[in-house]
A and B are shown apart, each in its own frame.
Chain A
Amino acid sequence: EVQLLESGGGLVQPGGSLRLSCAASGFTLSNYAMYWVRQSPGKGLEWVSGISGSDGSTYNADSVKGRFTISRDNSKNTLYLQMNSLRAEDTAVYYCAKGVKMRYFYGMDDWGQGTTVTVSS
């Protein structure tokens, strides 16, 4: 059974940093694309970052480019999202999601329950 467990969310001041983790079980992380998707309070879904399962290529939404970095540790079967220079508009529930396939453009199948990030002074 696929399980995705996010952690690392919390309250951070504007300009601060946070690292989210997503511990995966039930499958081998490196065999699939992986994603971070966020949802601001009362709003829709927004794709944030993705990493290909084949060659580890990474992709970021324009809204987080240069500030957020997605990575994975295959030995720990864990996905990360390093978030720097955080802004109030980054406040959201952050979901980790598993790709349908290794290639990044196929989108997601399994989702975690999310971790909440609040950026406020």
Chain B
Amino acid sequence: QTVVTQEPSLTVSPGGTVTLTCASSTGTVTSSYYPSWFQQKPGQAPRALLYSTTNKHSWTPARFSGSLLGGKAALTLSGVQPEDEAEYYCLLYNAGGLVFGGGTKLTVL
């Protein structure tokens, strides 16, 4: 059973930059894992941000970007806004199944 690991929590100042990562217990995350990223605020359904590592949805703000970094998938927020405070989840495809990470709680302070 694949385990996907994210930082449990991160804190960033408004206007700052922060990178969230997503690691797989199976080893190096590549583009073949089709990493996706989602944002969820309390009481709301998740909202998709990125798919296939770097691709943005039409509604995704430009300050969100995706990459592969040090064997992991990464989500970078540049010029963080107060409204970016939320839980962020990554999703990986592996061996026929999809696995979400445990989520990163991002605090903007």
Contacts and interface: CB of A to CB of B under 8 A. Distances in A.
- B is bound to A: yes
Interface of A: 35, 37, 44-47, 50, 59, 61-62, 95, 100, 105-114
Given A105-B93, A107-B34, 14 more contacts: A44-B102, A45-B46, A45-B91, A61-B98, A95-B45, A105-B98, A106-B36, A106-B51, A106-B52, A107-B91, A107-B98, A108-B91, A111-B46, A111-B48
B99 interface: yes
Given A50-B98, A59-B97, A107-B91, A45 B38 contact: yes
Contacts of B102: 44
A101 to B, nearest CB: 9
- The secondary structure that dominates the A interface is strand
B103 A44 contact: yes
Interface residues of B, number: 24
Contacts, number: 65
A111 B97 CA distance: 19
Contacts of B34: 105-107
A46 B45 contact: no
Contact of A44 (B47, B89, B93): B89
Interface of B: 1, 34, 36, 38, 40, 45-48, 51-52, 57, 87, 89, 91, 93, 96-103
Nearest to A107: B36
12 contacts: A44-B87, A44-B89, A45-B91, A59-B97, A100-B52, A105-B34, A106-B51, A107-B51, A107-B91, A108-B38, A108-B48, A114-B45
B22 to A, nearest CB: 13
Nearest to B91: A107
